[in-house]
Amino acid sequence: MLHVPRDLAAGLGDVTLRASLTSIGLALALIAVLTAALAAASFVVDVEHVTIIYLIPVLVAATRGGVVPALIAAVIGLGAAVFFFFPPLYDFYVDSPVEVVDLVLFIFVAVVTGKLAADVRQAKMRAQADALRDALIGSVSHELRTPLASIMGAASVLAQSPQIAADERLAPLARVLREETERLDSHIQNMLDATRISSDGIRPQAEWVDPCDIVNAAVAHRQNLLQKHELKVTVAEDLPLVQVDSSLVEKALGQFIENAVKYSPPASAIEITATPSPRAVRLTVSDQGAGISHDELQRIWDRFYRAPRHRDRITGSGLGLWIARALVNACGGRVEASSPGIGHGALLSIYLPVAPHPGPEHVDD
């Protein structure tokens, strides 16, 4: 699924090249037809000032192929006009100043219309690519999640049934099914988020939110994951409200929590805090785990980066922190990581900007 945008881009590249070639061909054919028609007409009327008609192939080339085919069509069309219809006939020599003005005007109009038509075309293509991407994301999400929903639902019913709940060998299996399904679902979510980010598709919907709600939601969604650790949550009272997309920040904080769980031993402490900071609210996740070396600190936010010392021991995609950073940045915030060194735990922070909001006092009763 990660390859979706790349395949999509390659596909669009092919389409673009083919469209350019066909549009040039079409423009050439049109120029030939127009020239023949004008040559026939020239026996009856004076066709010297009809260069404007060669804008038609330019427009066709621009709308179908873009700006380069438009320019090629303009040059060839102009050549045809000068060669066949400008006296002296059948050469590329232009003598009168009026004709020179004509030609300059033609080139100018051709370039401008070509550029405009090409812009329209590109906007249309981008919209198509967006629609295609959304459709892909939607169908991937639906196709993968529907069976997952059946598995998790069935597992939860099994866990609930009196026969299985009473059997201490079977009951944990139903729990395993549920937990592993949740894990798979979060991997799918990560891939979808990664796809959205790399195709520039995050559209944050900012709303006023209490930072404590973000922290609590992030913890509540990962209750199962956090079972084996000693969790401490500290939220300062009277934190300012922030105006962010709460679900994006919750996801980012969730990535930090998942990281802390993954890279720290069972029963060690994980601490989550929300505290005021100058012009910002700071959310942190700290653990007593593997820590981050100085070199790793430079790269942990990179896509697909995984520290070599973890690669064989702990599974991961190298996407989590990259996703977290992109989501937080999209909300106008920033992320930060620090660590006292390998084996001494890590501290990951999110800073959310604080903006003034109108007080509600005047609506109280």
Partner 1 sequence: MTSPQPAVLVIDDEVQIRRFLRAGFELEHFTVVEADAAESGLRAATLRSPDLIVVDLGLPDRDGSTVVERVRSWSDVPIIVLSVRANEDEKVRLLELGADDYVVKPFGMAELLARARAALRRHSRGNAGEPTVKIGPLMIDLAARTVSVDGTRIQLSPKEYRLLQVLAQHAGNVVTHQHLLKEVWGARHVQDAHYLRIFVRKLRQKIEKDPTQPRILVTELGVGYRLAQGAEQEDSASRGISNSS
Q: Using CB under 8 A, list all residues that contact partner 1.
A: 141-142, 145-157, 160-161, 178, 181-182, 185, 189, 205, 207-210, 212-214, 216-217, 231-237, 241, 245-247, 250, 357-358, 360, 363-365
Smallest separation, CB 207 to partner 1 (Å): 6
DSSP state of 239: P
Residue in 55, 196, 27, 28 with CA at minimum distance from that of residue 112: 55
- 239, 354 in Cβ contact below 8 A? no
Give the Cβ contact number of residue 135 at 10 Å.
10
State the nearest-atom distance from the C-beta of 289 to partner 1, in Å.
Answer: 19
Beta strands in 186-313 (DSSP E): 207-209, 230-235, 242-244, 269-277, 280-287
Output the smallest distance, CB 360 to partner 1, in A. Answer: 4
Task: To the nearest 10°, report the CA torsion of 175, 145, 205, 211.
Answer: 10
Which residue lies nearer to partner 1 by CB, 25 or 204?
A: 204
Cβ nearer to partner 1, comparing 198 with 275: 275
Between 114 and 254, CB nearer to partner 1:
254
Least distance to partner 1 from the beta carbon of 249, Å?
A: 9
Task: Decide whether 38 or 136 has the Cβ nearer to partner 1.
Answer: 136
Phi-psi region of 236 (alpha: psi -120 to 50; beta: other; left: phi over 0): beta
Q: Both tokens of residue 28?
A: 């050439």
For the CB of residue 327, give the shortest distance to partner 1 in the complex, in Å.
13
Beta carbon nearer to partner 1, 5 or 254: 254
